[in-house]
Structure 1
Amino acid sequence: MTVEPGPARDLTRQTDLARQGDVALPATGGAAGVPLRVRAEIAARETEAERLIGWVQLAMVLFFAALYSLAPRAEGADGFNFVPLALAAYFLFTVLRVALSYRFELPVWYLVVSIVVDVTLLCGLIFSFHIQYAQPATFYLKAPTLMYLFLFIALRALRFDPRFVLITGTLGALGWIALVAYAVTRDMGEMYITRNYVEYLTSNAILIGAELDKIIVIIGVTLCLSVALYRGRRMLLDSVRDHAAAEDLRRFFAPEVAHSITDADETLVAGRGSLREAAVMMVDIRSFTRIAATLPPATVMAVLARYQEAVLGVIARHGGQVDKFLGDGVLATFGAVSPSDTAAADALRAGLELPRIFAGLGPELAALGWPEDLRAGAAVSFGPVTAGVVGAAGRLEFTVIGDAVNRAAKLEDANKAQGSIVLTDAATLEAASHQGFDGAAAVLRPGQTVAGLAAPVDLVVLA
């Protein structure tokens, strides 16, 4: 079976992204053993998070620049003003960071450099206060600007990676320790260390306990956020993995069946089902086993894929769902997964369309290597069925069970004896007629013997 160029490019891009994610997505928080395609989706989401962080930082620097330009100069700020230069440099760095994030996935070292720039800028601004205001170094220890450090820490939580929160918090704590150490070790002058809180607030005194409190809070917030992110990251990985599994499930089941499984309020167990009036259709290729034995496996699979795709399209257009593929056979239901007042009519309309589809497939399958004209048949039976879950705890299957299922299979076999393409019985035709089906072209063959059924059946040939 050939792979379309478009999906191939998407798969290659996802694989490349996942391989890049081997750097950005270590085996932490449950990442070990994550499938490559899930890692690719995680890496894509983290790239989006980095862009969001960049835009938030850009908005912050623009906001502070606007606020600084509009606000009057603070009284007593006669020293050299570092703020305009710092904001300008940070603005340029942030713009570069946002631009690069749209060109490629930012490597870990660049993200760490970005964090260092954030913390260095903040600590540098705080340090500049004692120069700008011509005050002793202890003056900057009381600056409320330190609170912005928590904004930088929280901003890194948008990525759902605890490493970057830990790095930001650790650098912030070390930066503040360095500022405190500088204030304590330089020529004290008018500064002194005190244990009096009032003196600390009203003078240039240093209260060691107050500075320890700030460091403890920085470390505490960092650790709490990191633990929360670690747990959240595990949930994120499980969620993405489950999302990928659910998407795969929708490819193996009809959408209605997949939704009934993934959206169930309770854990699915074997033995639960619903009794409904439904139509069952069985479609089969004539002499498939004999012909397939003479062909290469690749040809057989290509023919099967094209045939099943065409049949599935007809069934879906008329509101049916494929219950399962049985080799070259297709078992479909109408009104079994979700109730329908027109199940029998929809199934017969689909059956009437199939001969045209079979005829149209002939040239395509011949081009793929099928050596004969496509000969296929279909049968429809309507009646009560039980739709639900069967199997054991470790292996479940959603299916339909009932006399209508067995009857559809036997009627499809009867196509060969009747020389027909689409076959049903009189009871199904009557139910379909009450549901709006026009059976004018149907041919009734009463009292026919069908292998596997105990009593004669009034057969109806649709095509």
Structure 2
Amino acid sequence: MLKKMSDFVFGERPQAHLPERVRRAIVDLQVNSEILIGWAQLCLVLFFLLLYSVAPKTSEGTDFMPVPWVLSAYLVFTLGRLYAAYRCTLPRWFLMTSVVIDMALLMGLIWSFHLQYEQPASFYLKAPTLLYVFIFISLRALRFDPKYVAAAGLAAACGWLFLLWYALFGENRIQDLTTRDYILYMTSNRVLIGAEIDKILSILVVTAILAIALVRAQRMLTREVADAAAAQELSRFVAPEIADRITTADKVMQPGDGETKEASVLFSDIEGFSTVSEKLSPDALVRMLNEYFAAVSEVIERHGGAINQFQGDAMLVTFNTVTTDADHAASAVKTALGIQRITEERLFCGDIRLPTRCGVNTGDIVSGAIGTPERLLYTVHGDEVNIAARLEQLNKQYGTYVLVTEQTARAAGSGFAFDVVGEVTVRGRAAPTCVMTVKAK
């Protein structure tokens, strides 16, 4: 029951153990928040100084002028605090102390009004400057940490309670200044206890509401940072475009969710990979593949492709599936030629060449999720995908490294030189498929 009530008021509690990277990300956000608070306080004190300098003075003829001194002291303190926030992570004790100093300076300024205007101490209880406490309390909300909002609110409430006590009992006061007459309270230096308690309660209620809102926001922030970190980690295992599509979908993806659209598919495979792998230790083999995939992925990303699958040393790459690309056929052909160029020019793992065969096809492709509700794979399906895989294998027969279909050649445009090398009948199709090689013009 208590847990349900707590979750209802404060929001669902995030997982107990957060990964170090998530905790570090939250700390970085809090550090940036302290810098933001510092700038907000600096702008605030500069605004007050400007306002004080241009506004008509209400204390002509008095020698005691505390406002410029207090504002100057607060300006120096704010500049020092902002400098420290840029230099290092501010410790909790310093932040708590700064909250108390903020309120102490404000309460000290309010307290000084009765000296400035040569009035009884109860005079300052009607100062509208009290409203500034809500500015200082709300400033602490920028950090998404309810402790500092609570500290600011409690400091303000305690400060005003002390000022009330001083007005009633300070300076060896004997005369009873309290009254229950509201008109007399408003037109004299008399004190209406209920009105002052009302101010303290208002400060505490606003503080409590802000603190509850911040607890909810902090828990939501923690969950969002954890989810973002998880999505970023998962994007290393699937194409970033696919991860972005999954995480930004309006509804949870289910098995069978997908769409059919014209797109291009590229299949790639390293020539003679089995022979190469026999000569390398497992560690060297993994290092070589990582170098190879990093180099090839750069070419793929440059032309807008999305890597749907790694299959050993082979890759399935799609264009115009997760991201829109009107020239997807040309992009696929450019990618295939780019892969040939980089594998011809570059040696991997020291002195190993990795010539790569590519097959490219264009047509209507189904892209979407397959599997069970608990475990899904986002991939592409259809005859056009099978044809691209078949073309990659046909490179052995024709002694080539890039083969494309007639559909791809037509869609790619006139920026390439295509040569027909033959026709192939793909299993499940009656009509033969025209196969071409390609070169850049």
Give TM-score scaled by structure 2 length: 0.86
SS at structure 1 position matched to 2:44: helix
**Aligned position for 1:200:** 185
Extract unaligned runs of 5+ from structure 1.
1-27
Letter in 2 for 1:262: T
1:397-453, CA deviations, whole angstroms, 9 ceiling, x for partnerless residues?
2110111222222332333344332234xxx2255235415665524234x577x67
- Residue among 372, 395, 399 paired with 1:392: 372
Letter in 2 for 1:462: T
1:152-184, CA deviations, whole angstroms, 9 ceiling, x for partnerless residues?
111111111111100000011111111112222
Counterpart check, 1:462 vs 2:437 = yes
Extract unaligned runs of 5+ from structure 2.
1-11
- In structure 2, the CA distance between the partners of 1:313 and 1:459, relative to structure 1 (3 Å rule), is farther
Letter in 1 for 2:317: A
> Identity over the aligned pairs, expressed in percent?
44
Map of 1:187-336 to 2, 5 A cutoff? 187-336=172-321
The answer to whether the 8 Å contact 2:339/2:356 transfers is no
**Aligned position for 1:129:** 113
Letter in 1 for 2:156: G
SS at structure 2 position matched to 1:265: coil
Counterpart check, 1:365 vs 2:348 = yes
1:218-250, CA deviations, whole angstroms, 9 ceiling, x for partnerless residues?
100100011111111222223333333444454
**Aligned position for 2:391:** 411
SS at structure 2 position matched to 1:391: strand
The answer to whether the 8 Å contact 2:265/2:317 transfers is yes
SS at structure 1 position matched to 2:87: coil
1:272-294, CA deviations, whole angstroms, 9 ceiling, x for partnerless residues?
11112333221111332443244
What CA distance in whole angstroms lies between the structure 1 residues aligned with 2:433 and 2:139? 73
- Residue among 90, 100, 109 paired with 2:93: 109
- Alpha-carbon deviation of 1:456? 8.9
Q: Which range moves more in the overlay, 379-388 or 219-228?
A: 379-388
Letter in 2 for 1:374: L
Counterpart check, 1:445 vs 2:422 = yes
What CA distance in whole angstroms lies between the structure 2 residues aligned with 1:31 and 1:155? 28
What CA distance in whole angstroms lies between the structure 2 residues aligned with 1:276 and 1:171? 63
The answer to whether the 8 Å contact 2:264/2:408 transfers is no
Q: Which range moves more in the overlay, 215-224 or 90-99?
A: 90-99
- In structure 2, the CA distance between the partners of 1:433 and 1:63, relative to structure 1 (3 Å rule), is closer
Counterpart check, 1:98 vs 2:75 = no
**Aligned position for 2:7:** none
The answer to whether the 8 Å contact 1:51/1:101 transfers is yes
What CA distance in whole angstroms lies between the structure 1 residues aligned with 2:62 and 2:324? 80
What CA distance in whole angstroms lies between the structure 1 residues aligned with 2:59 and 2:338? 86
Cα RMSD for the two superposed structures: 2.8
What CA distance in whole angstroms lies between the structure 1 residues aligned with 2:155 and 2:196? 16
- In structure 2, the CA distance between the partners of 1:306 and 1:253, relative to structure 1 (3 Å rule), is same
Q: How many pairs are equivalent?
A: 426
Map of 1:68-87 to 2, 5 A cutoff? 68-75=52-59, 78=62, 80-87=64-71
- Alpha-carbon deviation of 1:121? 0.8
Letter in 1 for 2:435: V
The answer to whether the 8 Å contact 2:45/2:74 transfers is yes
Q: Which range moves more in the overlay, 203-212 or 163-172?
A: 203-212
Give TM-score scaled by structure 1 length: 0.83
The answer to whether the 8 Å contact 1:379/1:423 transfers is yes
